């Protein structure tokens, strides 16, 4: 009755591309968590900048680890960095990849002919070669590294070089936007909590003040009955 049905691979992939409740709800959840982090605004903002910067790197599958490492280096909030990797999602990755590959290829003097379909093809070929080379350790198969080299020199290297400047720019913009907003939110929240505390203390004092005359009346009636 209370058992949960395990998610299928198809459902997991679908929720990765389109989260349950939609991207708007997911974004609101991330913003809510960022506002409630128990750290100064500048540290949270550094963490956000670290997470945004990592989204412009080709370290797919390692963005959480990379964001945590960069946040630790810049003394930012690590949880904020992990949440900020939400900027890199299936909707933005194609744009980030296209921009980074274009800039990196031009900077390194390479042909600008690696687009998303070619990147997917290169990744698939490299993964196939890695699996084949693993089997070659135990079988007569011959190891091949051409696809892996092609992926490194035509995708990973230009992607890394081309993503540095946009990543740094996006990180600085994220810090500049987040720091004043989070700082203002934290100050307003402290004021609200202070008002609630003062109101609660005032109510408690008023309640005690009201109980005191009642106690005096009870004591007087007790003395009269004793007489």
Q: Cα(100)–Cα(189) distance, rounded to whole angstroms?
A: 39
Looking up tokens 């963005």 gives 63
The sign of the torsion formed by the CA atoms of 150, 151, 153, 155 equals: positive
CA 217 distance to own-chain centroid: 62
Token readout for 77 is 């909030």
Q: Cα(149)–Cα(152) distance, rounded to whole angstroms?
A: 5
pTM, two decimals, is: 0.72
pLDDT in tens, 179-212: 998 888 888 877 887 888 788 887 777 777 766 5
Distances (CA, A) of 57 to 11, 68, 169: 27, 14, 13
What pLDDT shows up at residue 173? 96
pLDDT in tens, 6-43: 555 445 444 444 455 554 555 565 565 665 666 788 99
Work out the angle between the directed axes of helices 22-35 and 157-226 (0-180°, nearest 10): 60
Q: Cα(178)–Cα(44) distance, rounded to whole angstroms?
A: 8
Which range among 129-138, 181-190, 216-225 has the greatest average pLDDT? Answer: 129-138
Pair 76, 47: CB distance under 8 Å: yes
Residues 102-110, mean pLDDT to the nearest whole number: 93
Question: What is the rounded average pLDDT for all residues in the chain?
Answer: 81
Q: Cα(98)–Cα(114) distance, rounded to whole angstroms?
A: 8
């Amino acid at each position: 009755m209370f058992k949960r049905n395990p998610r299928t691979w198809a459902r997991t992939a679908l929720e990765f591309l389109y989260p349950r409740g939609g991207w708007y709800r997911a974004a609101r959840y991330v913003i809510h968590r960022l506002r409630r982090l128990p750290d100064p605004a500048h540290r949270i903002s550094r963490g956000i900048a670290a997470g945004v910067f990592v989204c412009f790197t080709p370290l797919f599958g390692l963005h959480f680890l990379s964001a945590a490492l960069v946040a630790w280096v810049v003394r930012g909030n690590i949880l904020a960095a992990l949440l900020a990797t939400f900027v890199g999602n299936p909707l933005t990755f194609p744009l980030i990849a296209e921009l980074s590959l274009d800039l990196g290829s031009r900077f390194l003097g390479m042909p600008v002919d690696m687009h998303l379909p070619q990147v997917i093809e290169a990744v698939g070929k490299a993964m196939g070669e890695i699996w084949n080379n693993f089997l070659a350790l135990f079988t007569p198969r011959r190891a091949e590294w051409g696809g892996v080299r092609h992926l490194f020199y035509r995708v990973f290297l230009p992607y890394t070089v081309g993503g540095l400047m946009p990543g740094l720019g996006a990180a600085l913009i994220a810090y500049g936007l987040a720091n004043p907003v989070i700082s203002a939110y934290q100050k307003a929240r402290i004021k609200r909590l202070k008002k609630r505390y003062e109101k609660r203390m005032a109510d408690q004092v008023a309640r005690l003040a009201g109980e005191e005359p009642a106690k005096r009346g009870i004591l007087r009636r007790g003395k009269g009955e004793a007489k």
